[in-house]
Amino acid sequence: MGRFVYWMNVSLDLRIEQTAGENGGGQWMRITETLHQEFNDRAAELTAMVQGRVVYELMESYWPQVWADPSEPQVMREYGRIWTTMPKILVSTTRTSANHNTRILADNVVSELAELRAGTDGRIGVGGATLATQLLATGLLDELLVFAHPVILGTGRPLFDDLDSPVELDLLEQQSFDQGVTMHRYAIRGALV
């Protein structure tokens, strides 16, 4: 059985962007080459990625071109290769086509993702707060991997949408990186087995 892992850069007040349209690239993030290499190493270990439309379109507009650009740093080109070639599921009711080893899932999303999880070995990366909240609310999210940047944004898109009740976590791993960034990996208590 696979494990869904929601992976995101966050501020200390658990915001994933300060202003709409920041699209995961806010100036508040402290992503160094060392940290990006950590992203690459973890992404390369994934079996697949499941992304909501907003995250997918952000990634699609950037990473394939970076992979092919020799003027980009090697760590960026490496992630471009990983993202472009990784099997992906795009959750969208508005997209009818996608490239880069991607299939679209529009109907029966929760049951289809439950089947994917049951029939997959390894970790499946999750991108997008709406999608992650839906998986968490239905007991399908297994892990949370957050890279916390030392800033308080005070406003903006939260890591999760509102939930009906608290969700307990168990710390699995933590690590510190340069410029004060920390990584915390948690298991979600009560995830469906």
Q: What is the pLDDT of residues 162-190, one digit of tens each?
A: 999 999 999 999 999 999 999 999 999 98
Are 39 and 159 spatial neighbours (Cβ–Cβ below 8 Å)?
A: no
- Establish if 178 belongs to a structural domain: yes
Structural domain count, the chain? 1
Q: Is 50 helix (H, G, I), strand (E, B) or coil?
A: strand
Q: What is the pLDDT of residues 81-98, one digit of tens each?
A: 999 999 999 999 999 999
What type of residue sits at position 71? S
- Establish if 113 belongs to a structural domain: yes
Within 8 A by CB and 6+ apart from 174, the residues are 182, 183, 184, 185
Closest alpha carbon to 131 in 24, 53, 48, 25: 53
- Establish if 21 belongs to a structural domain: yes
- Establish if 20 belongs to a structural domain: yes
- Establish if 144 belongs to a structural domain: yes
Domain of 178 in residue numbering reads as 2-188
What is the chain's length?
193
